[in-house]
Amino acid sequence: MGKPFKNFYQFKITLRGIRPPIWRRIQVPEHCTFWGLHVAIQDALGWLDYHLHVFHVVNPKTGVKEEIGIPDEDYAWDVHEIRPGWELPISRYFTAENNKCLYIYDFGDDWEGLSFEEKRLGEIMLDHEDEFYNEFEFADVTHDRGYDPDTEVNPFLHIFIHSIVENQLAEKDPIEVFEFYNGMRKKRCSHHETIHMIGAILAPLLFSVLKYQETFDLTTYRELLKKYKTRNPAKLFELLEKEPRLYPPED
């Protein structure tokens, strides 16, 4: 007889990169581990659990993305540890704000042979698939088109900045990125929202590097992260647009 429970978690499982979408909705008990969630996904999709799997999920306490699944030396990607799923309850990771993860099954058909940075970029692109599906799907046709910075978001520049921030957060370098992230997460901002906030500080500074061939102003970057980490998230983007060190007044 299974362990009794009062509450449960409900997940929508969607296969990435397939149109029209293929999805399942499942419910698991509140005490479920990542291994139990893996088994539930396998049953819901009619898979037979022949291959290794891994969950990529952000730890809400640290803000760092962790890999949870079956530790295996043959698939130990770079130096990143895969933590055993049967030891970790999903309640430690999933909250109302931190409510998404990436589940990878069958490494042989996935990203084997890619560097860690390539895998990170792939994950970020998948996280933005709903926003930029056409741009990514038809990139071989539209790769040379220009984007108006005043009216359009360049999806590839957006992913590039996202990747830089994710890497800084993982390395805690500069430490102000990590402190800003924790400050905004305590204000109930999601992981994705907070990455965008940091990117809104980083992007104008990078623009000066790319356009004017200037050295990246790390000192200003750190000072602005310190300055804005305690501000109201709802007003942050408006405040940044008025920040003279990011947008100097025109003569």
* pLDDT recorded at residue 77: 42
pLDDT per residue rounded down to tens, the chain (251 residues): 466 667 899 999 988 766 667 889 999 999 999 999 999 999 998 888 878 899 999 999 988 889 999 886 654 444 457 899 999 999 999 999 899 999 988 765 554 445 566 666 667 776 766 666 666 665 655 666 676 666 777 777 888 888 899 889 888 999 999 999 999 999 988 888 999 999 999 999 988 887 788 899 999 999 999 999 999 999 999 999 999 999 888 76
The H or E element containing residue 240 is helix 233-241
User: In order of start, what are the domains of the chain with their CATH numbers?
Assistant: 8-109 (3.10.290.30), 116-241 (no CATH)
How far, in Å, CA of 240 to CA of 223, rounded?
A: 13
Q: Are 30 and 8 in contact (CB under 8 A)?
A: yes
Which stretch of DSSP H or E encloses residue 208?
Answer: helix 191-212
CA distance 127 to 163: 12
CA angle 127, 133, 134 (to 5 degrees): 160
Coil, helix or strand for 204? helix
| Nearest of 135, 34, 125 to residue 86 by alpha carbon | 34
- Res 112: pLDDT: 47
* Nearest in space to 85 (alpha carbons), one of 34, 136, 49: 34
Phi, psi of 70 (to 5 degrees): -115, 110
Residue 66's φ and ψ, nearest 5 degrees, are: -115, 160
| pLDDT at 36 (0 to 100) | 96
Cα–Cα distance measured from residue 9 to residue 87, given in angstroms and rounded to the nearest whole number: 18
Alpha-carbon distance of 251 to 237, in angstroms, equals: 23
Read off φ and ψ for residue 57, nearest 5 degrees. Answer: -145, 145
DSSP state of 27: E
What tokens were used for 223?
């000072």
Provide the 3-class DSSP secondary structure of residue 126: helix
Residue 23 has a pLDDT of 87
Cα separation of 117 and 111, whole Å? 11
Query: Which pLDDT score, from 0 to 100, does residue 79 have?
Result: 45
Q: How high is the pLDDT of residue 95?
A: 93
DSSP string, 20-75: S--EEEEEEETT-BHHHHHHHHHHHHT----S-EEEEEE-TTT--EEEEE---GGG
